[in-house]
Chains A and B, each alone.
Chain A
């Protein structure tokens, strides 16, 4: 019985030291990792607003939204919604920029995990061009025929972003 206590104590001690070491390493690296992630995010945001500076993007917290991951206000120029929607397989991550009346200023797909060829049509320029300058709430946004499983959630997501902008951020 004494042996069992000895073994348990030894393993617990090793695990405790390991935990302590990990906590130290995490405290050291977590702020840097977070800063890296933010910098990468801002690089993506500049795809939509090439002229904006890092300081122009201000993150706004998101409440009660299904597909909206993050919201950034861009210094009097508009609002960027970072969205993750479902699709045929892994779905699509995209960003959409809206002006104050919820008109679509720009649309960029960050990643798409759907079937190559059909599902990835949403990453093509023609889809983005068809969306641009339409109003996200009032206008009908066209899906891609033959790729509705991938494009329908995106269109719905943009509508949700528009509603959110008009109802929650005003």
Chain B
């Protein structure tokens, strides 16, 4: 697999959320607003890239019997550091994401990439893989949060995470009388997720069918 393919794998083909169904707990929970999604996405990208790099660095000296506990210690440390930084510099984001920041530790995407990729590949490739997967995750939750926020509140807005009072943009897309507040609830999360996963699967199937038809000819 060349580098470009490796980097872009997470975008659609092996999209962690809608393709591999990894890290769904936080995805369903925090995608109520665009702010949350972007904050969570950035946190996950940072943790994923750093954990992939560190795990790749020590892959030759890590005894295979205890590799999982070693990975967990590294990931947990990184998450805790990110959490402290968010608490200090973006307290509003910290209270909005709440328990889901520490729960990045158990986000399967991170341990999954550590075990499946970083433990076998070079440092640069692992960083690229982490970045690609992280961007794939972030894009997925951004799409989900836009759909849910617009349907549930009618408004799409984004505030500066470091200063809540500074609203960067705010657009009323749906008039207040036509909003569906159910989409801010868990059921809305499941419906949005199922739709998007279905669309991605349909696209992939269509592509595969096309490739098969081509081979048949």
How far does the Cβ of A120 sit from chain B's closest Cβ, in whole Å?
A: 20
Expressed in whole angstroms, the Cα–Cα distance for A74 and B80 within the complex equals 37
Interface 0/1 of A32-50, CB less than 8 Å to B: 1100100010000000000
Q: How would you classify the secondary structure of chain A's contact residues: helix, strand, loop or mixed?
A: helix
Q: How would you classify the secondary structure of chain B's contact residues: helix, strand, loop or mixed?
A: helix
Expressed in whole angstroms, the Cα–Cα distance for A15 and B85 within the complex equals 21
Query: Which chain B residues border A7 with CB–CB below 8 Å?
Result: 63, 65-66
Query: Which chain A residues border B63 with CB–CB below 8 Å?
Result: 6-7, 10
Residue A11 interfacial (CB < 8 Å): yes
Size of chain B's interface in residues, with CB distance under 8 A? Answer: 19
Flag if B73 contacts A33 (CB, 8 Å). no
Residue B187 interfacial (CB < 8 Å): no
Assess A33 versus B87: contact at CB under 8 Å? Given A7-B63, A22-B81: yes
Residue B42 interfacial (CB < 8 Å): no
Contact of A14 among B65, B70, B88 (CB under 8 A): B70
Name B residues whose Cβ lies closer than 8 Å to a Cβ of A: 61-63, 65-66, 69-70, 73-74, 76-77, 80-81, 84-85, 87-89, 91
Taking A28-B84, A30-B84 as given, write out 17 further A-B residue pairs in contact, using a Cβ cutoff of 8 Å, ordered by the A residue number: A7-B65, A10-B63, A11-B66, A11-B73, A14-B70, A14-B73, A14-B74, A15-B73, A18-B74, A18-B76, A21-B81, A25-B80, A25-B81, A25-B85, A32-B89, A33-B87, A36-B88
